[in-house]
Amino acid sequence: MIKQFPDNFLWGGATAANQFEGAYNEDGKGLSIQDILPKGILAPLTDEPTDDNMKLIGIDFYHRYKEDIKLFAEMGFKVFRLSIAWSRIFPKGDELEPNEAGLAFYDRVFDECHKYGIEPLVTISHYETPLHLAKAYDGWINRKMIVFFERYVRTIFTRYKDKVKYWLTFNEINSIIHAPYISGGIWTPKEALEEKELYQAIHHELVASALATKIGHEIMPEAKIGCMIIAIPVYPLTCHPDDAFKAFETERENMLFADVHVRGKYPAYAKRMFAEKGIQIDWDESDEEILKNTVDFISFSYYMSTCDTLDQSKKNGKGNIMGGVKNPYLDASEWGWQIDPKGLRLIMNKLYDRYEKPLFIVENGLGACDELIVDAQGNKTVIDDYRIDYLKQHLVQVHEAIHDGVQVMGYTSWGCIDLVSASTAELKKRYGYIFVDRYDDGSGTLERYKKKSFYWYKKVIETNGKAL
Ligand code: BGP
């Protein structure tokens, strides 16, 4: 069947400031929590940034953005997802005046995108809370974060209202359950964190997200503002009804975040969930009204599916922040993430059935070890057929979902240019169409080389998916 994608489908790629900008202390930028996290999200923190932290230099997008955006344009990108580093705009997070040099940097980046007709898709907060807010306030546990966030979003919406049409509030907002430090800027160690505090932080983020949506719509009536969640279908490990219900509950706990964003209130099942956890959330009297500011679309990352069962001793799966139980029918990436293209069609249908709102796939891809070789023409490249195969299989399922009736705005594959991994903080785990000559021992020229997948994706975009 010839593949038919919508005419205005937004093809592109995705990144995050802390994983590729580098320049961690230039032009007035303050430290973010990522700057003291040298070995990935689950490893210990350091007091100060240390030289072994690959994110401090990243892939030096801060200085090479022109070259990189030119390469994205060559692939035909319609959209480029990036995040704003909050600590470039408000270095500590709680000051009253923004840092002009930080604002000016993103002006230059957005202008460069528009030069090629590329729409920026901007994540407001992507795992990069200013360090001071984590240390001094315990991150999102503290209600004051809403005030600081409001100041930050007002500043960037006002500044970029004519340059940015597509916005996402919090990256993978539901990841806070599993990774409260990177996702919630929470300083209290996970072991010492009470569930009540965790859900209070979640509530503050949900209110802040709705408030940002409200302010965004006021300042930019034409803008489209979305939430961003990790989407993971959870299969019952067996057809025993207990397993089926367990899997359903795990998936639904994950969905709670989208429920609030799209329905403008907590879902009915939350009441029992909080009662069983013995949790009572503190509400401000304005919260109920603020939460009614719902999003224009739902964006999500998709890398894998997982399984669940009542028998928790079977929990052995690895994956994108949440692990789960291994599925005997699926292969996995080198990092144990279970590859499931059909799961993408499934979760898209589930999301659309539930909300009937447009979807945007803003992360998907294969993290792999790439080998730079010299081809017959003497060019350095990577023959990444495994990546092409992964992306192709997933895009075929996106196509199927569209023809199931799901409304989809676009697709931005993760790490369109190699960048530092969030979970391992290494450059060994690469996702890009463009190879960056930098290695985990700090060596490398930072030169960019086109991989085989670069030409493949260019063709896919050029033909609006027909070449899949
Ligand atoms: C998501 C994050 C990204 C990204 C991606 C791949 O959870 O939003 O920041 O890194 O996963 O994960 P990793 O880099 O760990 O392979």
Got the DSSP string for 297-341? EEEEE----EEE-S-GGG-----SS---B--TT--B-TT-PBP-H
Task: Check pLDDT > 80 for residue 124.
Answer: yes
Encoded tokens for 280 = 């009572």
The domain total for the chain is 1
Q: How much is the pLDDT for 190?
A: 86
Q: How much is the pLDDT for 403?
A: 96
* Residue 254 pLDDT class (50, 70, 90 cuts): confident
Residue 5 included in any domain: no
Residue 166 included in any domain: yes
Task: Check pLDDT > 90 for residue 3.
Answer: no
Residue 72 included in any domain: yes
Minimal-distance CA residue to ligand 1 atom 2 = 422
Say if ligand 1 is within 6 A of residue 357 CB.
no
Q: How much is the pLDDT for 134?
A: 97
* Residue 402 pLDDT class (50, 70, 90 cuts): very high
β-sheet bridge partners, residue 297: 226
Measured N-to-C along each axis, helices 100-115 and 144-160 cross at an angle, to the nearest 10 degrees, of: 50
Task: Check pLDDT > 90 for residue 40.
Answer: no
Return d(Cα 73, Cα 113) in angstroms, integer: 8
Q: Report the CATH number at residue 392.
A: 3.20.20.80
Minimal-distance CA residue to ligand 1 atom 14 = 421
* Residue 228 pLDDT class (50, 70, 90 cuts): very high
Residue 2 included in any domain: no
Q: How much is the pLDDT for 2?
A: 77
Q: How much is the pLDDT for 202?
A: 98
Q: What is the pTM of this model?
A: 0.97
Residue 468 included in any domain: no
Q: What is the DSSP letter of 159?
A: H
Q: How much is the pLDDT for 438?
A: 98
Return d(Cα 26, Cα 121) in angstroms, integer: 24
Q: What is the DSSP letter of 424?
A: T
Q: How much is the pLDDT for 268?
A: 96
The pLDDT of 126-131, averaged and rounded, is 98
Average pLDDT of the chain is 96
Encoded tokens for 405 = 């009736």
Euclidean distance between the first and the last CA atom of the chain, given in angstroms as a whole number: 10
Most informative mutation of 18, 128, 320 for ligand 1 (most atoms within 8 A of CB): 320
User: Rg of the Cα trace of the chain?
Assistant: 21
Tell me whether 0.95 is exceeded by the ipTM.
yes
Say if ligand 1 is within 6 A of residue 300 CB.
no
Q: Using alpha carbons only, what angle is made at residue 87 by residues 259 and 156, rounded to the nearest 5 degrees?
A: 65
Helix H or strand E encompassing 462: helix 452-462
Contacts of 418 (CB under 8 A, 6+ apart): 59, 370, 427, 430, 431, 432, 434, 435, 436, 438
Separate counts of helices (H) and strands (E) for the chain: 14, 14
Residue 3 included in any domain: no
Q: Of 162, 293, 299, 175, give the one whose Cα is nearest residue 226.
A: 299
The pLDDT of 159-174, averaged and rounded, is 98
Residue 203 included in any domain: yes
- 425 Cα: distance to centroid of ligand 1 (angstroms): 10
Q: How much is the pLDDT for 319?
A: 74
The pLDDT of 165-194, averaged and rounded, is 95
- 82 Cα: distance to centroid of ligand 1 (angstroms): 13
Say if ligand 1 is within 6 A of residue 429 CB.
yes
**Active-site residues: which are they?**
363
Share above pLDDT 70 across residues of the chain, in percent, rounded to a whole number: 99
- Among the listed ranges 38-47, 173-182, 359-368, 369-378, which one has the minimum average pLDDT value? 38-47
Return d(Cα 467, Cα 445) in angstroms, integer: 34
Say if ligand 1 is within 6 A of residue 172 CB.
yes
Q: What is the DSSP letter of 457?
A: H
The pLDDT of 80-109, averaged and rounded, is 98
Share above pLDDT 90 across residues of the chain, in percent, rounded to a whole number: 93
Q: How much is the pLDDT for 323?
A: 73
Return d(Cα 431, Cα 365) in angstroms, integer: 6
- Among the listed ranges 76-90, 322-336, 407-421, which one has the minimum average pLDDT value? 322-336
Domain hosting 437: range is 10-462
Q: How much is the pLDDT for 246?
A: 95
Most informative mutation of 414, 419, 424, 430 for ligand 1 (most atoms within 8 A of CB): 414
- Are 2 and 466 spatial neighbours (Cβ–Cβ below 8 Å)? yes
Q: How much is the pLDDT for 43?
A: 79
* Residue 235 pLDDT class (50, 70, 90 cuts): very high
The pLDDT of 261-290, averaged and rounded, is 96
Q: How much is the pLDDT for 191?
A: 87
Q: How much is the pLDDT for 289?
A: 98
Based on the number of CB atoms within 10 Å of its own CB, is 377 exposed (0-12), middle (13-18) or buried (19 or more)? Answer: exposed
Residue 42 included in any domain: yes
- Give 308-344 pLDDT, tens digit per residue: 998 877 777 677 777 778 999 999 999 999 999 999 9
The pLDDT of 274-296, averaged and rounded, is 97
Minimal-distance CA residue to ligand 1 atom 9 = 422
- Are 307 and 235 spatial neighbours (Cβ–Cβ below 8 Å)? yes
Q: Using alpha carbons only, what angle is made at residue 257 by residues 220 and 406, rounded to the nearest 5 degrees?
A: 75
- Among the listed ranges 89-103, 158-172, 184-198, which one has the minimum average pLDDT value? 184-198
Q: How much is the pLDDT for 395?
A: 98
Q: How much is the pLDDT for 312?
A: 79
Q: How much is the pLDDT for 318?
A: 72
Q: Of 137, 148, 150, 80, give the one whose Cα is nearest residue 113.
A: 80
